[in-house]
Amino acid sequence: MGMTMMRWSAAVIAGCAVVAVALLPFPPNAALWWAGAAPAPLVAEMARFRDAAQATEQAVRAYRAAQGLERWSVGRRESDTSSIRIDDRVPGNVADAVRQVANEQWTALGASASGLNAQIFVYVDSTTIPRAAVVTGLRPLDPRRFVDVVFALPEATDGAHCVTLVRLRGVSPAHVEALRRQSLVGVCGFFAAFGMPGRGVRAWLAGTGYRTARRSDWHVARAPAVDAAGAYGLGDAGGRCLTSQPGACVEALGAADAAARADSRTLRSYDWVIDGTYLPTASALGAPPGVLGDIEPELLLSAVRELGADRFGNFWRSSESPAAAFESAFGTSLDSWTHAWVVRTYGGAADRPTIRMRDVVWLALALPLLVAMAARRRERLLSERLLGARA
């Protein structure tokens, strides 16, 4: 048995592999990032920079919200039940246009909407916060926008009102046009249409950062489903809800959001709205999507649309736990309805492959036959070759 070309090539490849393993300095842990691993000091400084940037953004948000609430409270009367208030410093022609835009969105909530527990407050503030107090020409801390919309929850106002703070950064037609592309009701739409939530529902909403109630435009028609790839944005509990594991949907809805709960007094519209275009939270802020995916803010508005506003009002004002209140108001469990909503939205989970007994029986019967046929054919071929060699 001589050294064939194939054996020679295999020996050379094996020898090169042994030399490479012995001599090359392979790293113990290869970096999984295309740009390589950053040095440890740089990673630490990047983390400090990120934390400082987040703290600065949070401080600016709190300052602007406090400014808006201060203007809202000045001159406000306790008996005032108007749904839309315009600051006195807004020019008359701009105030008329702004009131028309706000009134269109307000009336779309339905005949039950009132200013008893919700209000839209519009004011003008073009001031900026520079990054340095003594150096001019630097980019301000505020993002460049025509309009800022912040939803101040009752915890931040007087305990009985959800107020939409609309800050116009100017009075030009461009600013009014930008206002038309913003949602001025948001989470406050639920307070306007259904009043203050009951004790159980309110505790649940506050504990989860109101993430299932951030949109209230239930009058707007929507597609029954989203891109199937959106299912990959579901959290662990959301994935279990999609696969219909018992109790998983209630677990997903009740998953606490520590970051949102810590700042649940005010909610920004551009957490999920940028220039009138709804975007997932991950795209807007670089944060992971909700437990139930990117359209989690639409869950309660879907309940209003599908189950009826009257019955939803009973659920909203209930003092029971969300699961008990939902079943009392709608006659179905919160877990099963949420599962059906998730399936309609993202598409049902694919069934796991199973082995059927009839397939096993057919395979057991066919396998010996196939083996016998293959052996018979090989035996005939060998016999023909043997006879040919003898001839």
Residue 244 has a pLDDT of 78
Residue 59 has a pLDDT of 85
Residue given tokens 């469990």 in the structure block: 333
Instruction: Return left, alpha or beta for 247; rule: phi > 0 is left, psi -120 to 50 is alpha, else beta.
Output: left
Residues 260 and 177 in one domain: no
3-state secondary structure of 162: strand
Single-letter code of the amino acid located at 331: G
Residues 164 and 250 in one domain: no
Other beta carbons within 10 Å of 74 = 9
Q: Does residue 287 register a pLDDT over 60?
A: no
3-state secondary structure of 81: coil
207 is a domain residue: yes
Tell me the mean pLDDT in the region 73-80. Answer: 75
Task: Provide CB contacts within 8 A for 105, sequence distance 6+.
Answer: 183, 184, 185, 217
Residues 234 and 216 in one domain: yes
Closest CA to 234 of 333, 344, 342, 352: 342
Tell me the mean pLDDT in the region 358-373. Answer: 69
List alpha helices for 149-273, DSSP H.
Answer: 173-180, 188-194, 199-207, 236-242, 248-253, 258-262
The residue with greater pLDDT, 159 or 26, is 159
312 is a domain residue: yes
Q: Does residue 146 register a pLDDT over 80?
A: yes
Residue 315 has a pLDDT of 95
**Length, in residues, of the chain:** 391
Please state, rounded to an integer, the average pLDDT across all residues of the chain: 78
Q: Does residue 276 register a pLDDT over 50?
A: no
Residues 175 and 69 in one domain: yes
Residues 300 and 333 in one domain: yes
Residue given tokens 């239930």 in the structure block: 218
Residues 228 and 153 in one domain: no
Query: To 10 degrees, what angle do helices 299-307 and 334-346 make?
Result: 100
Residues 117 and 211 in one domain: no
Q: Does residue 372 register a pLDDT over 70?
A: no
47 is a domain residue: no
10 is a domain residue: no
Q: Does residue 63 register a pLDDT over 70?
A: yes
Task: Provide CB contacts within 8 A for 223, sequence distance 6+.
Answer: none
Residues 205 and 170 in one domain: no
Residues 247 and 335 in one domain: yes
302: containing domain: 197-348
In total, how many domains does the chain have? 2
Tell me the mean pLDDT in the region 270-287. Answer: 36
Residues 71 and 114 in one domain: yes
Residues 103 and 147 in one domain: yes
Closest CA to 314 of 303, 293, 329, 331: 329
The residue with greater pLDDT, 76 or 189, is 189
Per-residue pLDDT tens over the stretch 208-233: 888 899 889 898 877 766 666 777 77
Task: Provide CB contacts within 8 A for 391, sequence distance 6+.
Answer: none
Residues 172 and 73 in one domain: yes
Q: Does residue 349 register a pLDDT over 70?
A: no
389 is a domain residue: no
Other beta carbons within 10 Å of 153 = 21
Per-residue pLDDT tens over the stretch 292-341: 887 888 899 999 999 999 999 999 999 999 999 999 999 999 999 999 99
The residue with greater pLDDT, 83 or 279, is 83
Residue 134 has a pLDDT of 56
3-state secondary structure of 261: helix
Residue 285 binned pLDDT confidence (cut-offs 50, 70, 90): very low
